[in-house]
Amino acid sequence: MKRIFYGIIFLTFSLSMLQAQQADSLFSQANRLYAQKKYAEALDVYRRIPETGKVSAELYYNMGNAAYKLNKKALSVLYYKKALNLRPGYAAAKHNLTLIRRSLTDRIEPAPLAFHIKLWKKWTGMLSVGVWAILSRLWAWLLLAAVLFYLYSQKPARKRWAFALAGISAGIWMLTWISYRSAKAEHEKTEAVVAVPETRWRARIDTDTSRTGILHEGTVVKILDSSGNWYHVRTADGNRFWVPESDVLKINERY
């Protein structure tokens, strides 16, 4: 029985190592193709890496660069957004995304945010969801340790020290936990990019006389709902309407 158990562990570890080596090999190959200005080939190789189960902000950043060189604006926006989902503070991805947005037909200005909301978004965006989760757990364990130390300590001085530590730990744990939840919600929100040169939106889909308009390639929308082959979306400036499902690519899916 032990041999089977250890065999399974060894096999799992070996497969994991093999996948990591395969991903690294593909990444190096794609980087070489990119350096040789073979952008289409580089992008094809980059796209094979997520199939190995290994993704990173750097991978999606490089994919965005390759797509940009091929003048595929929608894909470049998609990949830069994916990079920022994994690492919200990725300065290079933010910079390139800003440059691309300036070249888009639809320059939709986001609705202004209150100062405290803007400050909070900046705070939670400093770290990835995973890092916030780790910090929250660490401070939770420290809080538990401080409480136990307070309960079982006999000396008044130590009790006072443990009580102060518990209070500080509780405050920081709450802050990191709320930051984690906020960052997680931001990471999991369903956004999509218009992937066709232009898509015709409709204010309603239950009538042929609905008000219509056009969104152009590269525009980012938030998906609120779906019905049949349509997505109910909201643009950055707060406008809501329906767009064909086939005309957009979801940012949180693999491409």
The 3-class secondary structure across 59-81, one letter per residue, is HHHHHHHHHHHCCCHHHHHHHHH
Query: Which band of pLDDT confidence, cut at 50, 70 and 90, is reported for residue 209?
Result: low
Tokens coding 235: 């643009």
Contact 132, 180 (CB under 8 A): yes
Cα end-to-end span (Å), the chain: 41
Query: Is the torsion defined by CA of 95, 96, 99, 101 positive or negative?
Result: negative
Q: Which amino acid is at 9?
A: I
In this prediction, residue 254 carries a pLDDT of: 66
Alpha carbons within 13 angstroms on the beta-carbon side of residue 186 total 26
pLDDT single digits (tens) 153-178: 888 888 899 899 999 999 999 999 99
In this prediction, residue 13 carries a pLDDT of: 40
In this prediction, residue 54 carries a pLDDT of: 85
191-250: CATH topology:
SH3 type barrels. (2.30.30)
> Over pLDDT 90: what percentage of the chain?
52
Measure the CA angle with vertex 189, ends 198 and 77; round to 5°.
Answer: 40
Global confidence as pTM: 0.71
CA distance 97 to 102: 9
2-103: CATH topology:
1.25.40
Containing 197, the helix (H) or strand (E) segment is: none
The whole-number average pLDDT for the span 68-90 is 92
Domain regions of the chain by residue span:
2-103, 115-188, 191-250
Query: Which band of pLDDT confidence, cut at 50, 70 and 90, is reported for residue 8?
Result: very low
